[in-house]
Amino acid sequence: MKDSDFLIPWSKDSLVVNYTEVLVLGSGIAGLFAAIKLSRKFDVTVLTKKNIMEGNTEHAQGGIAVALNQDDSPEFHYGDTILAGAGLCNLEAVKILAEKGPECVRRLIELGTKFDRHDNELDFTKEGAHSKRRVLHARGDATGEEIERALVEVVRSRLITVKENHYVIDFIKNHHGEIAGVLVLNQISGKVEAWLAKAVVLATGGLGQLYKHTTNPELATGDGIAAAYRAGAELMDMEFIQFHPTALLLPGAPSFLISEAARGEGAKLLNVRGERFMEGIPGQELAPRDVVARAIWEQMKDSPVYLDFSCLEQPQDRFPTIYSTCLDYGIDISTTPVPIGPAAHYMMGGVKVNNMGETNLANLYACGECACNGVHGANRLASNSLLDGLVFASMITDSLSSKTFVLAKWENVRPFKGVWDINQKGSADVQFLRKQIKDIMWEKAGIIRTQQGLLEAYSQLIKFWEEFTPSLEVPHLELGNMISLGLIIAKTAMEREESRGGHYRSDFPFANKHWQKHSVLKRGDQHVGYVSI
């Protein structure tokens, strides 16, 4: 496939053209919170790949971290976030997160989110690497679903246009090279449409599907990050992937997340001999996620690993979703340890933004998991990502509301060479290639990396890239994005010769001060650049 602004070639002729003032791409916590706030001033349209509920947000279990408890403060939250970030956090962004968090969560409650309460007071739980009980949850372990439900209800009650089953393929620009809108596959009509706007907010979530084992739903293929990269956006910290230590590991079952809150409430990790192998490690079961994930990976070389809920009273009440899902696979967590393993969970990197959500491309903003301002550093603190989505979506709305934008005109959109042949058949066996990419990324660019493994991953992915011709179908388009992001992860991971947070190199097993900087890459760069923030 050619290195180009576009995954598929297209022509300006024969496209349906739609206009809106602000386009929000994605309907997770970041996209919907941004849309709701922006709708006070702008005509807003949300484009989303499947139905409005689907995305990582809906699956979030443990909760949302926020310094609202009496014995807590934004300073403590700030300190814990920085400690988890392994020397790479953008301190100003962390300050904003911790300080604006309470106000944003209160707003979420006003918008109808019902967090669990005890004696009518908000009920806070504790998770790994948090010094305080500061994690709000809803319906036990259905926090994301409850937040999404509340936000969807508000969006539906306002004059916000939502287009479901609209797959964003690429960005389009005006004659000045500024973002003018997006190219979209309307999966209902099967037609490609152009959507033009004054400004575009990218909130398309993460890319866990690049890995064989992942807690992320099928749609998390990093489309928005890949499209932004093609358009010339800078990507930052793409080598930092968080692997969650505890996902259900059973043949034929999805890598269903067993929330960190389970260990927070006392569940223990055991090897096949029933030994607590985390006992001698600082933080034990609640050590940082990368430490726990690697300890489990090491154990799994010899034996399966289990999470034992037996010391919790009534785990079915506190973790109803985990309880019922495990029961579906024949495991009663109140009596039987659950077989678990690590799985790709969260992308610390993404489209590089400043603290106001601005990218290097005019009119393009990004927030949520697809964006990176360095707030999580090299390793995200548990339950900080829902808060990140809220707080930085809110920063974007502040920034956008103070600006004057001009609505893009179709005649000012840059023309393109090449005509899309609607009948073009893709070159790839999509299912086969998708599996190959996931295997390669898991084995060679996953929890434990080496120069040799990353080189092998890179050369295999380059071959796929060269041979790949997409067709106008979502699985093909996703595959193109997955290959291109796999290459970027392998490249940035290869160049970072140290271990830090979510990036572990067994050939460079320690953090090195020289590498205390963020990787930045944009299309056309021969080498990865580095910046300090």
Ligand X SMILES: Cc1cc2nc3c(=O)[nH]c(=O)nc-3n(C[C@H](O)[C@H](O)[C@H](O)COP(=O)(O)OP(=O)(O)OC[C@H]3O[C@@H](n4cnc5c(N)ncnc54)[C@H](O)[C@@H]3O)c2cc1C
Catalytic residue numbers read 289
Min dist CB 383 to ligand X, Å, is 4
Q: How far apart are CA 501 and CA 221, in angstroms?
A: 22
Q: How far apart are CA 109 and CA 74, in angstroms?
A: 19
Question: Which residue lies nearer to ligand X by CB, 124 or 508?
Answer: 124
Nearby residues of 197 by Cβ (< 8 Å), 6 or more positions away: 19, 20, 21, 22, 23, 45, 180, 181, 363, 407, 408
Min dist CB 127 to ligand X, Å, is 8
Q: Which residue is nearest to ligand X (CB)?
A: 28
Question: Which residue lies nearer to ligand X by CB, 256 or 468?
Answer: 256
Chain residues binding ligand X by CB under 6 A are 25-31, 47-50, 54-57, 59-64, 143-144, 167-168, 203-205, 215-216, 219, 223-224, 257, 346, 368-369, 383-386, 389
Angle between helices 384-401 and 143-157 (to 10 degrees): 20
What is the length of the chain? Answer: 533
Q: Which of 521, 501, 519 is nearest to 511 (CA)?
A: 501
SS3 category, 13 = coil
Min dist CB 215 to ligand X, Å, is 4
Q: Which of 120, 139, 224 is nearest to 477 (CA)?
A: 224
DSSP string over 403-443: -------GGGBPP-SS---TTPPPSS-HHHHHHHHHHHHHH
Find where tokens 């295999």 sit: 460
Find where tokens 């059973």 sit: 250
Question: Which residue lies nearer to ligand X by CB, 453 or 480?
Answer: 480
Question: Which residue lies nearer to ligand X by CB, 39 or 385?
Answer: 385
Largest CA distance in the chain: 70
Question: Which residue lies nearer to ligand X by CB, 64 or 150?
Answer: 64
Letter string b/e over residues 390-425, b meaning 16 or more CB atoms within 10 A of that residue's CB: bbbbbbbbebbeeeeeeebeeeebeebeeebeeeee
Phi, psi for residue 510 in degrees, rounded to 5: -120, 160
SS3 category, 211 = coil
Min dist CB 168 to ligand X, Å, is 3
Dihedral sign from CA coordinates of 69, 75, 81, 86: negative
Distances (CA, A) of 35 to 4, 16, 17, 231, 340: 30, 23, 21, 23, 37
Question: Which residue lies nearer to ligand X by CB, 174 or 385?
Answer: 385
Question: Which residue lies nearer to ligand X by CB, 32 or 448?
Answer: 32
Q: Which of 191, 183, 186, 197 is nearest to 230 (CA)?
A: 183
Min dist CB 188 to ligand X, Å, is 13
Strands in 91-238 per DSSP E: 117-118, 121-122, 124-125, 135-136, 161-163, 166-173, 179-186, 191-196, 199-202, 235-236
Min dist CB 78 to ligand X, Å, is 16
Phi, psi for residue 500 in degrees, rounded to 5: -160, 130
Min dist CB 205 to ligand X, Å, is 3
Beta bridge partners of 351: 235, 371
Question: Which residue lies nearer to ligand X by CB, 226 or 278?
Answer: 226
Min dist CB 530 to ligand X, Å, is 25
Strands in 31-75 per DSSP E: 44-47, 64-65
Question: Which residue lies nearer to ligand X by CB, 57 or 299?
Answer: 57
Q: How far apart are CA 88 and CA 240, in angstroms?
A: 11
Min dist CB 82 to ligand X, Å, is 17
Question: Which residue lies nearer to ligand X by CB, 25 or 82?
Answer: 25
Min dist CB 244 to ligand X, Å, is 8
Q: How far apart are CA 173 and CA 179, in angstroms?
A: 4
